[in-house]
Amino acid sequence: MTGKRPDIDPRNPDIWLNLHIRDDRAVISLDTSGGSLHRRGYRKDSVSAPMQETVAAAIIGYTEWDSEVPLYDPMCGSGTLLCEALMHYCKIPSGIFRKRFGFEFLPDHDEMLWTKVKKDIDSQIRELPEGHISGSDISSKAVEISKTNILNLPFGDKVKLETLDFREHKGLENGVIVTNPPYGIRMGNRTAT
């Protein structure tokens, strides 16, 4: 024992250990992902109270959108639902921007196998047709933030965005509308329950 702390990066350690204590029981677990997986890496800016990426992915999945018809978000905010719809359609892996995973530092990690699996998954990515996914928001600032985030993804330039009050939209024939409208306290209404 040297009495010195090991040289570990506290923000980005190679291996993450989690300790959960409840009453008189402790559980230690090994985090093989290397940090929170809900952070996809495409969001560079956001409006107030942005939706968590994994929640948006679950909503897109829950809609049972088959990707054959257009998808539109009339209150897109920071574009999280649109980004997740794009990733769903294009088959972009959720960890595409992740530089490393915790399992890569485990002693039994097979680098050749990981490279092959990653290459196989990446080869399934497909292009988004122009305008197949679109969104709007009454706030021009929100639309700009959405553009910033969506353009961080492959084929993000194919997503159509515009500043528009949803009540003025001409409608969507044979498509899916999905949105997370702003409401209550998160948008400044302190009297909401």
Each residue's pLDDT tens digit, 151-160:
999 999 999 9
> pLDDT category, 73, cuts 50, 70, 90?
very high
Nearest Cα neighbor of 44 from 156, 137, 131 is 156
Q: Distance between CA 192 and CA 182 in Å, rounded? A: 12
> Are 175 and 71 contacting, i.e. CB atoms less than 8 angstroms apart?
yes
> pLDDT category, 25, cuts 50, 70, 90?
very high
> pLDDT category, 193, cuts 50, 70, 90?
very low
Instruction: Pick the more confident residue, 16 or 55.
Output: 55
